[in-house]
Amino acid sequence: MTLAVQPFPRKVRFILDTVKLEHSVFMLPFAYTGMVLAAGGFPTWWQFFWITIAMVAARTLGFCANRVLDREIDAVNPRTAQRHLVAGRLKPIDLIATGAIALGIFLLAAAELNPMSLMLAPIAAFIVVGYSYTKRFTWTTNLIFGLADGLAVAGGWVGVSGSVSWNLALLYAATVAWVIGFETLQECRDTDFIRAHGLYSVPARWGIAAALRLSQAMYTLAICGLVLVGLLLGVHWPFYVGLAGAAALLAYQHVIVRPNDLSRAGYAFFPINGYVSATVFAFTLLAFVF
């Protein structure tokens, strides 16, 4: 494969497309939900700004690491073979440099929030980067992805409170269950490829039907966990209205995605889960208005 030299503006466009900033719709509402619950309402604009910067930077770091580490795998997967790095429109150094900048911004944002955020930031960065290796040796990779993406809600909480608590642990666990649910569903699309290339995932190890049942179970645990968080924190009724709407959207995913029909799995993964996270955040914020 010959690597073409791209004009700088085009290269920037390819990098932005690779890191998929629009997928921040997954992480930002998680972070904002944790932020609002920790603050008991909307925090300061300073906290809101740096939490936003931290989450976008962490997401960018994760995408850059994933694309670089998985480029050989992506090259032989028909679903990912046209990604810019694989197709030669970008070089590994382009994404390594972007990831390094994102890491620096992430650490800066954590430092601007509070000492606890800065102390935990390197651990979060390690998990976000290291996740991409796990599909090579364990079928629990989908669960580990949940641990990584669920850090967004913890980041929002710690960014405001500067501390950890049992309420945060429960909120984090519920978010991790939610992420495991949609990541397991999404991974069903690549089951045959993963098996053929000696990689690991829940669907590849246990089958698509079992994976979808796990996804349903994780969604159920997520909603139950969030209800319990609301009760423990004394959050007002709009929070539960939002959870009911989120539960309906999650249930809808399993109406349109069946073991013998994965044609709409991509739609179930994105944008429906974006609607779910945005709904939970919006109604969480609304709950503190009443």
Q: pLDDT per residue over 140-191, tens digit each?
A: 998 999 999 899 999 999 999 999 999 999 999 999 999 999 999 989 999 9
Task: Write down the pTM of the prediction.
Answer: 0.91
pLDDT (mean) for 95-103 = 95
Return phi, psi of residue 2, to 5°.
-95, 130
pLDDT digits (tens, 9 = 90+) for 217-238: 999 999 999 999 999 999 999 9
Identify the structural domains of the chain with CATH numbers, from first to last. 8-287 (1.10.357.140)
Q: Give residue 17's pLDDT.
A: 80
**What residue spans of 20-165 are helical by DSSP H?**
24-39, 45-69, 71-75, 84-87, 92-113, 115-130, 141-149, 151-161
Quick one: pLDDT band at residue 1, thresholds 50, 70, 90? Answer: very low
Q: Give residue 289's pLDDT.
A: 82
Buried b (16+ CB within 10 A) or exposed e, 271-280: ebbbbbbbbb
Q: What contacts 280, CB < 8 A, 6 or more positions away?
A: 29, 33, 226, 242, 243, 246
Average pLDDT, the chain: 91
Partners of 261 in the β-ladder: 258
Question: Which residue in 111, 116, 151, 117 sits closest to 26, CA to CA?
Answer: 151
Residue 178 token pair = 């939610």
Q: Is the pLDDT of residue 93 over 80?
A: yes
Q: Give residue 287's pLDDT.
A: 96
pLDDT digits (tens, 9 = 90+) for 4-21: 556 667 888 888 888 777
